[in-house]
Chain A
Amino acid sequence: MEALERLNYSGEFSPLRDRMIAELEDVNTLCLTYRSRIYRYALLSLKDPDLAETITQDCFLKAFNARKDFRGDCSVATWLTRIATNLIRDCTRSRKFQFWKTANSSAVEAGDIADRLRSPGISPESFLVVREQLVKVWDAVATLPDKQRSVFVLRFVEDMELPEIAIAMGLHVGTVKSHLHRGLAAVRKAMERTR
């Protein structure tokens, strides 16, 4: 895979890999370091805080149990993101999730998110404009297909590089770029509607 070649973490007995495996052994430190990141990714993918918490815990449990299988060909964060991606995919495929998605009882509305936005130092008029833009952009991202939205979140919220996203999602870098272009196009359209 192209992404694997570009990321030079490899080397079976490298000190870097040993350090990463040691990091995986200490599950408490692992949670402290990466919990917010994994939780955020799950939350933005599922829009459900309880489910996101469950996914986060399952992710660390799986990572700990499979720590011997970690080859060190990517960072720990990327590896955890990959595990979380698989868990989120399994969760969204389940019939139970589909039911609750349809019922939409716990899904967070864009307006709720916009109301919580703290923007100190700007006028109320400007805040209203920003709020409206956020609602549009949030809805636009929410309506993206699952993979496109995940790629968008990993790039623009988690600041991951394209090869890292490719590893985490199990995609080619070209596919990741294509997804990101579609996501940005959706954001552009949303922004144009607010003008």
Chain B
Amino acid sequence: MNNHLSAWEQEEYLLDQRTPQMLRHLSECADCRAAIAGLEHGVGIYRKAALEWSAESLAVRPQPYVTAPRQPVLTLRLAMAAIIPIVLLLLALIPFHLSSPRRPAQPVAQISDDALLDQVDEQTSVAVPSSMESLTHLVSTESGADRKGSKPLAQTN
């Protein structure tokens, strides 16, 4: 029994890459079985310690309650649903706005000047100033008095 399994073959055995020759040899060779058992033991204690450590560490941590994160896509869709009708309405109004006749713009200064000149014209065209209007019925022209059939002011006195 001098063809013992090599270290590589023993490792292959642990990785489940087993050949019939390997299995036949192991059934007959106690040394190789012991070598593989030693390696398995080393891996086994590592596994056991790892599982225990992890379980202990996890046990002291609170179980998180995970909620599904809000979907940004849904939020975006809602925002779009709100914005799109407004945009469409504005787009629909643009042709009306463009087709309406445009009045020539009149400067504000010119408007105020015209109004002032009109006012001056109106005041200067009045024959009797407004402060003396109450006296006009006392003084009248002759022709005007005849026409109305009223007596002259001198005769009444």
A20 at the interface (CB under 8 A from B): no
Please tell me which one of the listed residues A39, A64, A180, A191 contacts residue B54 in the complex, with CB atoms under 8 A apart. Answer: A39
Q: How far is the CA of A188 from the CA of B68 in the complex (A)?
A: 46
Number of interface residues of A (CB under 8 A): 43
Report yes or no: B46 in contact with A134, Cβ–Cβ below 8 A: yes
- A177-B15, A184-B11, A185-B11 are contacts. A191–B50 as well, Cβ < 8 Å? no
Report yes or no: A36 in contact with B54, Cβ–Cβ below 8 A: yes
What's the minimum C-beta distance from B60 to chain A, rounded to whole angstroms? 9
Report yes or no: A184 in contact with B46, Cβ–Cβ below 8 A: no
Report yes or no: A60 in contact with B66, Cβ–Cβ below 8 A: yes
A166 at the interface (CB under 8 A from B): no
Which label, helix, strand, loop or mixed, suits the secondary structure of the B interface?
Answer: helix
Please tell me which one of the listed residues A27, A35, A43 contacts residue B53 in the complex, with CB atoms under 8 A apart. Answer: A43
Report yes or no: B66 in contact with A49, Cβ–Cβ below 8 A: no
Please tell me which one of the listed residues B11, B46, B50, B57 contacts residue A180 in the complex, with CB atoms under 8 A apart. Answer: B11
Q: How far is the CA of A188 from the CA of B36 in the complex (A)?
A: 10
Q: How far is the CA of A171 from the CA of B33 in the complex (A)?
A: 31
Which residues of B sit under 8 angstroms from A185, Cβ to Cβ?
7, 11
Which of B14, B45, B57, B67 has the largest number of chain A CB atoms within 10 A?
B45
B96 at the interface (CB under 8 A from A): no
- A27-B68, A60-B66, A185-B11 are contacts. A117–B39 as well, Cβ < 8 Å? no
Number of interface residues of B (CB under 8 A): 32
B145 at the interface (CB under 8 A from A): no
Q: How far is the CA of A134 from the CA of B46 in the complex (A)?
A: 6
Q: 1/0 contact trace for A111-146 toward B, CB 8 Å?
A: 001101110000000000010011001100100000
Please tell me which one of the listed residues B53, B66, B67 contacts residue A113 in the complex, with CB atoms under 8 A apart. Answer: B53
B69 at the interface (CB under 8 A from A): yes
Report yes or no: B58 in contact with A36, Cβ–Cβ below 8 A: yes
Report yes or no: B57 in contact with A43, Cβ–Cβ below 8 A: yes
Residue of B nearest to A188 (CB): B39
Q: How far is the CA of A131 from the CA of B42 in the complex (A)?
A: 11
Which residues of B sit under 8 angstroms from A141, Cβ to Cβ?
46
Which residues of A sit under 8 angstroms from B42, Cβ to Cβ?
133, 137, 187-188, 190-191
Closest 4 CB pairs of A and B: A40-B54, A184-B11, A191-B42, A187-B42
Given contacts A43-B53, A190-B42, 14 further A-B contacts (CB under 8 A): A27-B68, A28-B65, A31-B66, A40-B58, A57-B66, A61-B69, A117-B49, A133-B41, A133-B42, A134-B49, A137-B42, A181-B15, A185-B11, A188-B39
Measured CB to CB, the residues of B under 8 A from A are 7-8, 11, 14-15, 17, 38-39, 41-43, 45-58, 61, 64-69
Measured CB to CB, the residues of A under 8 A from B are 27-28, 31, 35-36, 39-40, 43-44, 49, 52-53, 57, 60-61, 64-65, 108, 113-114, 116-118, 130, 133-134, 137-138, 141, 153, 155-157, 162, 177, 180-181, 184-185, 187-188, 190-191
